[in-house]
Amino acid sequence: MTTLTVETDDHTAVHDVTDRVREALPDDADGTCTVFCEHTTAGLVVNEAERRLLGDIESFVEGIVPDEGWAHDEIDDNAGSHLRALLLGAHVTVPVADGEPDMGTWQSIVLVECDGPRTRTVRVLVE
């Protein structure tokens, strides 16, 4: 297992981590790779990492859940971030062949920050 650290730079931010996952894979790896985000206010998705689409993803995530009106906000004012991450999911699993993620041409592994800026920990496990 490999641990990656991702520094996010805004409250809502999208970071393509595909190359970092690729570097974490053993050269002879075949099987599946699970990429897991150890946080409850960030998520992982597989999607295209085109710059404008990443901006669209940020806008979509910000708009999908209202920021206010949640009971958890009485504790630390970030319930909306938890709920956004809940919809995204904490992990993705992709096939691996010959040490490379075996994904579609336009697919990338993307970390979506919902409560930044923060330092995020992502684990990469090949089975």
Question: At 35, is the secondary structure helix, strand, or coil?
Answer: strand
In which domain, by residue range, is 95 found?
2-126
- Kindly report the CATH number assigned to the domain that includes residue 26: 2.60.120.460
Rounded Cα distance between 112 and 95, Å, is 21
Number of compact structural domains in the chain? 1
Q: How far, in Å, are 4, 28, 62, 107 from residue 38 at the CA level?
A: 11, 26, 21, 22
Structure tokens at 58: 């940020």
Residue-level pLDDT at 44: 98
Q: What does the pLDDT look like over 26-53, one tens digit per residue?
A: 999 999 999 999 999 999 999 999 999 9
